A and B are shown apart, each in its own frame.
Chain A
Amino acid sequence: MARFLVKRLFSAALTLFAVSVLSFLMFFALPRDPVTGMCPKNCNPERLERVRQELGLRDPLISQYAGYMKGIVTGRDLGSAQGGRCDAPCLGWSYVSNEAVSDTIARVLPVTLSIVVPAAVLWLLLGVGLGMVSALRRGTWLDRAAIGFSLAGASLQLYFVGAVLLLVFVYTLHWLPVPSYTPLSDDPLRWAGGLVLAWLALAFLFSAIYARLSRAQMLETLSEDFVRTARAKGLSRRTVYGRHALRAAITPVVTIAGLDVGGALGGTVITETTFGLGGMGRTAVDAVRAGDLPTIMATVLIAAVFVVLANVLVDLLYAAIDPRVRLR
């Protein structure tokens, strides 16, 4: 198990290294001069040249990359125009928002986490629960209702569902405040109240896939010999389905969940936009619009970290669920 873990972590580190190199090269691969975006007004050649010097763009590529990575790990000095000392994890200075990128991230990342983590818990419980119930009650009205629900979830768009939820619960019934972000540590109730619609909208759309997937998996598992063996042992239905069948049926769900949650943590642009919440997704999109390269790079890197970490987690979960995986 330890060897398995080390191997997975090593390949995760390798992936992250590759992503960091690629996103770093983006600076130079883009058709746009990285400097113009950072020198919006009164640009004259001297000033441009000064910005180039400050950014270290005159240095060789490798030492620029090394400097950037060093900043992430130990922090570095960016010069007076870029806020001076930049502590680890230093992700550079944004000329657009005139602040250290790490400060921007520190502000918006909690928003995304607050949207995605509870939503993911909801959609997993709802999706797997629905899938299980409809598999065990196959052919009944419950099954058909669950299928209808997931069909709706799979075909509707978030901005539509979100708009309907807002219209009903905020603007018509006035049950909920206009969505906004309050840090959890400030006021848990307001935190939840401001985000609950985003959770519901995300959970509704995502749980659809999970309901279908877990229903199909469960049905397949129920016809497995080992499920019949479990029943032949005299185990209760609860144990047979809840333990023996569920554990075997859940593996593909874990895979998809890892990808979905990892991806969503990198930013949920549409959700954030629909509910007017400024998270990672909005920040990334705004940065792209403004040509704010340090911020783009930071959001790409962080999204990559989430996806890679989620995959490592999935691998570990797999190994925990299926003993045969540990051998490989």
Chain B
Amino acid sequence: MDSPQAAPPGPPDAGPAVPEPRGGDDPYLRVDDLRVRFDTADGVVRAVDGVSFTVPRGRTLGVVGESGSGKSVTALAVLGLHDPRRGTVTGTISVGGRQLVGLPEDRVRRLRGRDVAMIFQDPLSALHPYYSVGRQIAEAYRVHHPRAGRRAARARAVDMLDRVGIPQPARRYDQYPHEFSGGMRQRAMIAMALVNDPALVIADEPTTALDVTVQAQILDLLADLQAEFRTAIVLITHDLGVVAQVADDVLVMYAGRVVERGSVTQVLRRPQHPYTWGLLSSVPSLHGDPDADLVPIPGNPPSLIDLPAGCAFHPRCRYAGDRSRAEVPQLVPAGADGHLVACHLPTDDRARLATVPLGERRLP
């Protein structure tokens, strides 16, 4: 079925639009003071409020937080997918050295899917139900390779399906999303995201809709492909287990702000922010006391229209003091190199609390 002039597997003819950063110290994605606000009838929603982070090639940043913490809004901003009529994006989003914010739609569009690709949460609704899976992958290829013919695009799509571990890729090419199992669909979605060898992949809850065994396979697949292509990955999830498994760095978001940032070891082993403590203590453990109660974080995430004054987390925080209620905490270095936290708790208090089991932490 494949034609002799089909494109060879491997990098497409148009490589990354920007040369690899030299020396590796220049991160592929740099987000600086990103703000996304939506003007609604009820008021201004500050969905993302001054978020900064970087992701170098070959590394994975895990972004965690509850629903509404601004994770997905950040991701969509990096893809330039916010409707300018409804949302205002300010700050810096630098992808391979190009500032995305303020770039005309047509230029951003050419980056999308080629340099920055996205993997969505629910592949059943994220794939078009009326087009065959292969065709959707081929379409993603052709839009950035206008000179590639139908056959070349098909060959490339089949090759990608094969690479993400879908058996009989040539036959599967012509099948529709509803004919795929959940895991296979997510593999196809990954194949579609990677078809143009993007330097940056944003995965928004890529395994949430899958059962656990498939989850592990998909994460392994992502890790393999990352190792092969030195892809920078932003992994959005609320599953700390997933973060522990694949992330190099972690960003904890709350109410549109970063509350803690650091390497995966720093954030998961020596968490500094009470919100991170809360997240960790609400995860069941296989090792601890099976009868121990999970400790949920009391209350609900705040309305983004009417944020609590000071630290947005203070109404749910048992360590909140007067300063927390008055003043927004800034991200400051906490202990180890590169570990940042936005909390008014004095460093020594925090250090002392960190030695106490999560559920029993109390301020004197």
Contacts and interface: CB of A to CB of B under 8 A. Distances in A.
Interface in A268-326: 321-324
A321 B81 contact: no
A228 B114 CA distance: 16
A232 B79 contact: yes
B178 A226 contact: no
B110 interface: yes
Contacts of B79: 232
Contacts of A155: none
B139 A235 contact: yes
Number of chain B interface residues as a range: 20 to 34
A186 interface: no
A249 to B, nearest CB: 11
Nearest to B75: A232
B129 A324 contact: yes
A247 B130 contact: yes
Contact of B112 (A234, A248, A321, A323): A234
B5 interface: no
B210 interface: no
Interface string A198-225: 0000000000000000000000000011
A186 B1 CA distance: 52
A232 B117 CA distance: 7
B140 interface: yes
A323 B177 CA distance: 10
Contact of B128 (A229, A232, A236): A229
Interface string B176-192: 10100000000000001
B122 interface: yes
Contacts of A233: 112-113, 139-140, 143, 192
Interface string B101-137: 0000000011111100110101001111111100000
A234 B129 contact: no
Contacts of B316: none
Interface string B143-182: 1100000000000000000000000000000001010000
Interface string A229-267: 111111110010000100110000000000000000000
B198 to A, nearest CB: 10
A236 B113 CA distance: 12
Contact of B176 (A235, A248, A323): A323
Nearest to B178: A324
Nearest to A239: B143
A102 B356 CA distance: 96
A232 B112 contact: yes
A228 B202 CA distance: 14
A235 B143 contact: yes
A36 to B, nearest CB: 58
Contacts of A226: 125-129
A31 to B, nearest CB: 52
Interface string B36-52: 00000000000000000
Contacts of B176: 323-324
B130 A323 contact: yes
A322 B143 CA distance: 23
Contacts of B114: 234
Contact of B120 (A228, A234, A244, A323): A228
A229 B127 contact: yes
A234 B130 contact: no
15 contacts: A225-B122, A226-B125, A226-B127, A228-B120, A232-B79, A232-B81, A232-B112, A232-B117, A234-B114, A235-B113, A235-B143, A236-B143, A322-B129, A323-B132, A323-B178
Interface of A: 224-226, 228-236, 239, 244, 247-248, 321-324
Interface of B: 79, 81, 109-114, 117-118, 120, 122, 125-132, 139-140, 143-144, 176, 178, 192
Given A233-B143, A321-B130, A323-B176, 15 more contacts: A224-B125, A225-B120, A225-B126, A228-B81, A228-B120, A228-B126, A229-B127, A229-B128, A232-B118, A234-B111, A234-B113, A234-B114, A236-B109, A244-B131, A322-B129
